């Protein structure tokens, strides 16, 4: 809805309006500046050892599954929902991938990956469908589903195991042309450009934002609210599947119980990434950077010889303080 | 029942009247579900129903009921507290670590842990208006992270569960049938039930959950209500953690973590709306007992951990769905 007004305003102006960009994307830009600062801190913490392309690759590998989970949570929260079973869905895809891909050729494993993306979409659609059909609050439905999907993951694999072909792992851990371009970052950029952006700037994308900002008004404007909400969960399921596939690529194996950590951190990442929990506000690009910020903090601690568990404390404090500051800014704007 | 309840008859027929009667008294439905579960247990394992078994069920329900009590209060204000498990774990762990200083001091420290966490949560949610989900999520991460880092420094002397706590958690009165934890649970439950119903705080709690803006305009200091609620919630969680460590008899850093989601589930099954203002503690008590019996039924059926989880989740969802459709107000 706002995009129509903005488009109208943009037509009347010439050149680039930096102020408008700063106010509209301020939070996202802020997160990327934070990410840059954290990478600088990482380089400083690493000294006297030089920062090489290998370290850059390590950073990307460490944050890849969480980055996808954050994208998933972002789309769902923008549509006005929340999914507390996301991390467990990532684990389900991760264990299926690892158990099917073991001792398979690269081509077969790619086929399996495509199949799992479809399964991810279906799992997301089941979550969204249950939320819409039952009328039970999304938190409760997805909390209950986190038990269900967690059970499914344990049925498939009881202890960490499985495997995947080296070529497949290279999709997450390798490099792309230059050694300074990690393959994982390219995969994220591709998914953003080829999957999310086309949806975002067409009817379904606008519908997701509209439903998230005001369900009743969206309904009155002719948006099919139910289908849109299920769609958001399905897109979330796709990103969760990408997260699971990324986890298989970066760790090489499947782990059935990594779920809770990813769920909670995905919520943290979207909040840090500028998505409003009330829905309808924010984007997917910010949370990606926020996910890497959240994974960088503990690794910087390790290099400094500090107990990495302080990372958890700092992550928690970071989230709370950022949201408090955000609230204060909102209060000031309103006056 | 939905079809009957939504019937537009001018004067309710007997079936509809019965439906309305049940909807207004969710405790009856919950009791029926509980009895059905107990019968299922008896069928799976004849001889299951005995006075001792009932005592054991109550004994295992007590810690969960304390966590869920705090969760109920917070949910009545339309909030949620995802730090209950971390708080309970911290309280239990530090209590066990400080046991050598004397049982009284150790227990006081456990309550103090709850007080501190609750105050921070309350200040964040009440004064800074941070979304409760984020505030308590962040707090859970801070508390459990800090506990892990400083685990050693919290332990002075030999860590152990004081015999008083152990006795309170697993001891029995009158022929092994009545767990001693009821001595703590019943008064606290009575206090919460009566307090919600008759005290000014209790009524304000419902009002704030129902419509915080109207409350503010009516002169209610909403932030004070929220602050007190989050403090109470964390203290109740701390007590729940102490009881749980008494049942388990060994403290570790992930002790109460598996109880986080059940604490929310017990409240939801018990009929408290996650949007605030509707519900109460009586339903939560039954919800907690139902979850414990369900768990024991699945154990009796010899289900694997995986199948257990799937059934557990499905049943929570099913109960919440029944609620939503039968009341249309969740």
pLDDT, mean over chain B = 86
Residue in chain A nearest B275 by alpha carbon: A137
Rounded Cα distance between B150 and A131, Å, is 41
ipTM: 0.80
Q: Which helix (H) or strand (E) holds B247?
A: helix B222-248
Measured from the Cβ of residue B163, the count of other Cβ atoms closer than 10 Å reads 12
For A284-304, how does the pLDDT look when each residue is reduced to its tens digit (9 = 90+)? 999 999 999 988 888 888 778
CA B77 to chain A, closest CA, distance in angstroms equals: 16
- 8 Å CB contact of A316 and B325: no
B56 has a pLDDT exceeding 90: no
- Whether the model pTM is above 0.90: no
What backbone torsions phi and psi does residue B300 show, to the nearest 5 degrees?
A: -60, -40
DSSP A51: P
Residue contact A268–B144, C-beta within 8 A: no
Residue A334 is predicted with a pLDDT of 54
Contacting residues of A for B294, CB less than 8 Å apart? none
Q: Which of A83, A86, A140, A298 has the highest number of chain B CBs within 10 A, making it the mutation to test binding with B?
A: A140
Q: Do B137 and A152 touch (CB under 8 A)?
A: no
CA distance A138 to chain B (A): 10
Residues of B in contact with A135 (CB under 8 A): 321, 324-325, 328, 330
Residues of B in contact with A148 (CB under 8 A): 309-310, 313-314, 317
A147 vs B145: CB contact, 8 Å cut-off? no
Residue A316 to residue B304, Cβ atoms within 8 A: no
Residue B4 has pLDDT above 50, yes or no: no
* Residue among A130, A277, A316 minimizing CB distance to B317: A130
Is the Cβ–Cβ distance between B124 and B130 less than 8 Å? yes
> Is the predicted pLDDT of residue B330 greater than 70, yes or no?
no
Instruction: Please determine, for residue A2, whether its predicted confidence score (pLDDT) is greater than 60.
Output: no
**CB contact (8 A) between residue B314 and residue A148:** yes
The domain made up of A26-305 is a member of CATH 1.10.1740: no
- How many Å separate Cα A152 from the centre of its chain? 22
Q: Is the dihedral of CA A287, A293, A296, A298 positive or negative?
A: negative
Q: Which residue has the higher pLDDT, B138 or A116?
A: A116
Tell me if B138 and A317 make a contact (CB, 8 A cut-off). Answer: yes
Beta carbons of A151 and B140 less than 8 Å apart? no
**Mean local confidence (pLDDT), A79-105:** 92
Residue A28 banded pLDDT, cuts 50, 70, 90:
confident
Task: Decide if B145 and A310 are in contact by the 8 Å CB cutoff.
Answer: yes
Residues B180 and B171 sit within 8 Å (Cβ to Cβ): yes
Q: Give A259-273 pLDDT, tens digit per residue.
A: 777 888 898 899 889
Please give the Cα distance from A242 to A215 (Å, whole number): 29
Contact A62, A299 (CB under 8 A): yes
Chain B residues whose CB is inside 8 A of the A147 CB are 261, 309-310, 312-313, 316
pLDDT of residue A217 exceeding 50, the answer is yes
Which residues on B lie below 8 Å from A323 (Cβ)?
130-131, 134-135, 138
CA distance A318 to chain B (A): 8
What is the per-residue pLDDT for A15? 67
The distance of A313 to chain B (nearest Cα, Å) reads: 4
Q: What residue in A sits closest to B120 (Cα-Cα)?
A: A320
**Percentage of chain B exceeding pLDDT 90:** 43
Over residues A120-152, the pLDDT tens digits come to: 999 999 999 999 998 888 988 998 899 899 999
Query: Which residues partner with A176 through β-bridges?
Result: A178
Does the pLDDT value for residue B308 go beyond 90? no
CA triple A183-A188-A189, angle to 5 deg: 95
What does the pLDDT read at residue A214? 92
Chain B nearest CA to A294, separation (Å): 12
Instruction: Provide the pLDDT for residue B175.
Output: 67
Confidence of residue B291 (pLDDT cuts 50, 70, 90): very high
Percent of chain A residues past pLDDT 70, beyond the cut: 93
B128: which residues sit within 8 A by CB, 6+ positions away?
A324, A327, A328
For an interface test with B, which of A142, A147, A301 has the most B Cβ atoms less than 10 Å from its Cβ? Answer: A147
In Å, how far are A26, A68, A327, B116 from A14, measured between CA atoms?
Answer: 21, 36, 33, 55
**Annotated domain spans of chain A:** 26-305
Contact A147 B131 (CB under 8 A): no
Q: How many CB pairs under 8 A join A and B?
A: 148
| Percentage with pLDDT > 70 across chain B | 93
Nearest CA in chain A to B257: A260
Give the range among A110-119, A322-331, B125-134 with minimum mean pLDDT: A322-331
- Give pLDDT tens digits for B119-128: 999 999 998 8
Determine the pLDDT at residue A204: 93
Phi, psi of A59 (to 5 degrees): -60, -45
For chain B, list the domains and their CATH numbers: 48-327 (1.10.3470)
Which of chain A's residues have a Cβ under 8 Å away from the Cβ of B328? 135
pLDDT in the model for residue A117: 96
Q: How far apart are CA A318 and CA A324, in angstroms?
A: 10
In chain A, alpha helices (H): 2-12, 18-46, 53-78, 86-101, 106-134, 138-156, 166-173, 183-191, 197-200, 203-213, 215-220, 225-251, 259-272, 285-303, 309-334
Give Cβ neighbours of residue A334 (< 8 Å, ≥ 6 apart): none
pLDDT tens digits for range B237-271? 999 999 999 988 888 888 888 888 889 989 988 88
DSSP 8-state secondary structure symbol assigned to residue A284: S
Query: Using CA atoms, how far apart are residues A218 and A120, in angstroms rounded to an integer?
Result: 27
Asked if residue B307 has pLDDT above 60, the reply is yes
CA angle B17, B23, B24 (to 5 degrees): 90
């Amino acid at each position: 809805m706002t995009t129509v007004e903005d488009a109208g305003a943009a037509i009347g102006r010439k050149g680039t309006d930096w102020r408008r960009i700063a106010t509209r994307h301020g939070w996202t830009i802020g997160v990327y500046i934070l990410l840059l600062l954290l990478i600088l801190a990482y380089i400083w913490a690493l000294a006297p050892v030089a920062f090489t392309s290998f370290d850059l690759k390590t950073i990307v590998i460490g944050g890849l599954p969480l980055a996808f989970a954050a994208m998933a949570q972002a789309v769902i929260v923008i549509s006005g929902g929340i999914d507390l079973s996301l991390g467990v869905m990532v684990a389900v895809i991760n264990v299926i991938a690892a158990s099917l891909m073991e001792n398979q050729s690269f081509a077969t494993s790619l086929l399996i990956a495509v199949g799992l993306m479809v399964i991810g979409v279906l799992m997301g659609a089941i979550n969204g469908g249950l939320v819409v059909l039952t009328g039970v609050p999304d938190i409760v439905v997805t909390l209950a589903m986190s038990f269900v999907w967690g059970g499914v993951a344990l049925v498939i694999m009881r202890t960490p195991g499985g495997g995947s072909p080296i070529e497949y792992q290279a999709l997450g851990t390798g490099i792309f042309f230059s050694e300074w371009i990690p393959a994982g970052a390219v995969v994220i950029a591709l998914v953003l450009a080829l999957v999310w952006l086309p949806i975002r700037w067409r009817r379904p994308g606008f519908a997701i934002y509209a439903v998230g900002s005001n369900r009743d008004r969206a309904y009155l404007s002719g948006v099919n609210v139910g289908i849109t909400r299920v769609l958001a969960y399905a897109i979330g399921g796709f990103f969760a599947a990408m997260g699971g596939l990324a986890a298989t690529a970066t760790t090489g194996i499947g782990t059935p119980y990594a779920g809770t950590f990813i769920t909670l951190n995905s919520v943290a990442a979207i909040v840090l990434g500028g998505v409003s929990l009330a829905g309808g506000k924010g984007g997917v690009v910010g949370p990606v950077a926020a996910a890497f910020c959240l994974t960088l903090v503990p690794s910087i601690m390790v290099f400094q010889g500090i107990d990495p568990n302080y990372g958890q404390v700092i992550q928690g404090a970071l989230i709370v303080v950022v949201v408090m500051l955000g609230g204060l800014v909102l209060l000031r704007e309103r006056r | 029942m939905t079809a009957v309840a939504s019937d537009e008859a001018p004067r309710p027929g007997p079936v509809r009247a019965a439906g309305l009667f049940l909807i207004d008294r969710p405790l009856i439905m919950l009791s029926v579900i509980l009895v059905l579960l107990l019968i299922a247990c008896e069928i799976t394992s004849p001889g299951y129903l005995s006075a001792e078994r009932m005592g054991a069920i109550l004994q295992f329900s007590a810690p969960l009921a304390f966590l869920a009590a705090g969760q109920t209060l917070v949910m009545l204000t339309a909030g949620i507290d995802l730090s209950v498990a971390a708080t309970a774990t911290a309280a239990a762990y530090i209590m066990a670590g400080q046991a050598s200083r004397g049982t009284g001091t150790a227990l006081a420290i456990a309550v103090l842990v709850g007080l501190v966490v609750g105050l921070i949560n309350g200040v964040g949610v009440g004064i800074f208006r941070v979304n409760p989900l984020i505030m308590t999520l962040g707090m859970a991460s801070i508390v459990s992270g800090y506990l892990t880092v400083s685990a050693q420094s919290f332990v002075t002397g030999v860590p152990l569960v004081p015999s008083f706590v152990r006795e309170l958690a697993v001891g029995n009165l009158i022929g092994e049938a009545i767990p001693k934890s009821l001595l703590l649970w019943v008064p606290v439950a009575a206090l919460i039930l009566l307090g919600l119903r008759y005290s000014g705080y209790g009524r304000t709690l419902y009002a704030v959950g129902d419509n915080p803006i109207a409350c503010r305009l009516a002169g209610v200091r909403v932030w004070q209500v929220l602050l007190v609620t989050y403090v109470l919630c964390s203290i109740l969680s701390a007590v729940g953690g102490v009881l749980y460590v008494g049942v388990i008899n060994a403290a570790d850093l992930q002790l109460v973590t598996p109880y986080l989601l059940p604490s929310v589930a017990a409240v939801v099954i018990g009929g408290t709306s996650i949007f605030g203002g509707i519900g109460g503690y009586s339903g939560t008590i039954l919800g907690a007992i139902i979850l414990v019996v369900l768990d024991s039924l699945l154990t009796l059926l010899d289900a694997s951990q995986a199948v257990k989880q799937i059934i557990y989740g499905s049943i929570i969802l099913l109960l919440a769905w029944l609620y939503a459709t039968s009341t249309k107000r969740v």
